[in-house]
Amino acid sequence: MDASDGSPDYTALEFPEAPADRPCVIVNMVASADGKTVIEGSEQGLGSATDRRLMRELRLHADIVLTGAGTLRTSGHTSRLNDEALEALRVARGKPRLPIAATLTHSGDLPLDNRFFTGSDFEGVVYLSDGAPAERADALATTGRAVQRVPEGAEAPAMLAHMREALGCRLLLLEGGPTLNGEFFRRGLVDELFLTLGALVVGGDAARTAVETPGHPASHEGVRRLALLSAYRNPETSELYLRYRVRRPAEPD
């Protein structure tokens, strides 16, 4: 396990081999010391410039960057790296200049003027639950983004199967929100977690955390145990940059 002061370099990371039926899934989140992921409804103010650089470096490796509909509505969603050197490195590694951007929506009620739909420099895919009305699917299709229906109640595994089989995705980067993270963790579909822990306390009585599972109360059976792979402390910001592997149920503690 790597542990040191300074900021890590994620450009040369290696990841587990993708299973035959789904991509390798990594989650990247930033949280306060008390576990909160938003301040006044946004993640703005939680992470430093170094945290944002590490986010871009993780996108360097990803074939698809996925967020939930709530994150898209509040923060917008693209798969941009905003770094010409990283984009050139992707191309040199045989990848497209930018990853595919993807989102999951249960209702199909998304703002069509969002940069996810208006951006022309990256591909986008909307995963739409079967429970959404047909007119929502038609409206989404007018944006030019691909729309892929997924079965209600089993969206996560269906998305992963489509990404692997139809899009050739080997590494999926999941950037939230908490409910989508929770669904992937609950189903045992996450391989690694990257967590930036900010040196601040947010408080609040309803602030969101990195992983939430509405309708599924916390239980011993639902716990996912982690193994720490690396930890870095930023001496300037006191942030911690943590990388975990998700342990499988059969692994000993």
pLDDT tens digits along 1-31:
666 777 799 999 999 999 999 999 999 999 9
180 is a domain residue: yes
Residue 15 contacts residue 93 (beta carbons within 8 Å): no
User: What average pLDDT does this structure show over 138-162?
Assistant: 97
Angstrom distance (rounded) from CA 7 to CA 245: 19
- Residue 45 binned pLDDT confidence (cut-offs 50, 70, 90): confident
Angstrom distance (rounded) from CA 160 to CA 141: 21
Residue 73 has pLDDT above 70, yes or no: yes
Largest Cα–Cα distance in the chain?
A: 53
37 is a domain residue: yes
User: Which residues lie across from 67 on neighbouring strands?
Assistant: 103
Residue 139 contacts residue 108 (beta carbons within 8 Å): yes
Pairing type for strands 146-150 and 2-5 reads unpaired
**14: which residues sit within 8 A by CB, 6+ positions away?**
none
User: What average pLDDT does this structure show over 43-62?
Assistant: 92
Structural domain count of the chain: 1
216 is a domain residue: no
- Model confidence pLDDT, tens digit, residues 119-129: 999 999 999 99
Residue 183 has pLDDT above 90, yes or no: yes
Amino acid present at 222: G
Residue 96 contacts residue 90 (beta carbons within 8 Å): yes
User: What average pLDDT does this structure show over 204-208?
Assistant: 78
237 is a domain residue: no
Domain that holds residue 35: 27-206
Q: What are phi and psi of 117, to 5 degrees?
A: -90, -30
Does residue 251 or residue 44 have the better pLDDT?
A: 44
156 is a domain residue: yes
Give the pLDDT confidence score for residue 41 in this predicted structure.
73
**221: which residues sit within 8 A by CB, 6+ positions away?**
none
CA count, 13 A, side-chain hemisphere, 219: 8
249 is a domain residue: no
Percentage above 90 pLDDT, the chain:
78
User: What average pLDDT does this structure show over 184-203?
Assistant: 96
Does the CA dihedral 25-31-34-40 come out positive or negative? negative
Give the pLDDT confidence score for residue 21 in this predicted structure.
94
Residue 62 contacts residue 167 (beta carbons within 8 Å): no
Residue 206 has pLDDT above 80, yes or no: no
85 is a domain residue: yes
User: What average pLDDT does this structure show over 234-243?
Assistant: 95
Q: Which pTM does this prediction carry?
A: 0.94
Angstrom distance (rounded) from CA 55 to CA 65: 11
**226: which residues sit within 8 A by CB, 6+ positions away?**
193, 244, 245, 246, 247
- Residue 253 binned pLDDT confidence (cut-offs 50, 70, 90): low
12 is a domain residue: no
Angstrom distance (rounded) from CA 191 to CA 184: 10
The enclosing domain of 159 has a CATH number of: 3.40.430.10
